[in-house]
Amino acid sequence: MKLDKLTIKSQELLQAAHDIAQKYGNQAIEPIHLLKALTEDDQGVGLSILKKIGARVDVLKRDIQTSVDNLVKVSGPRLKK
């Protein structure tokens, strides 16, 4: 995939999903990471669309968080700096 061919917003979304996966110790970026990143962007089009269609965003965010929390986490010895 050539990331430079994506729009800036798409690149930002992928970076945010990557950051979320890392934060939660997940080995790979999953669709739920993308959805979490999409719903965390208060000025993004995704959240706006969800609100316009009447989605209960607060419930959706809670369910997304639960799903992210339940993903398999990778752990191991930490490297000394």
Please give the model's pTM, rounded to 2 decimal places: 0.85
| Gap between the Cα atoms of 23 and 44, Å rounded | 21
| Gap between the Cα atoms of 78 and 81, Å rounded | 9
| Gap between the Cα atoms of 2 and 14, Å rounded | 12
Residue-wise pLDDT for 18-67, tens only, equals 999 999 999 999 999 999 999 999 888 999 999 999 999 999 999 999 99
Domain boundaries, the chain: 3-69
The tokens for 59 are: 């419930």
Q: Which of 54, 52, 24 is nearest to 36 (CA)?
A: 24
Topology classification of domain 3-69: Double Clp-N motif (1.10.1780)
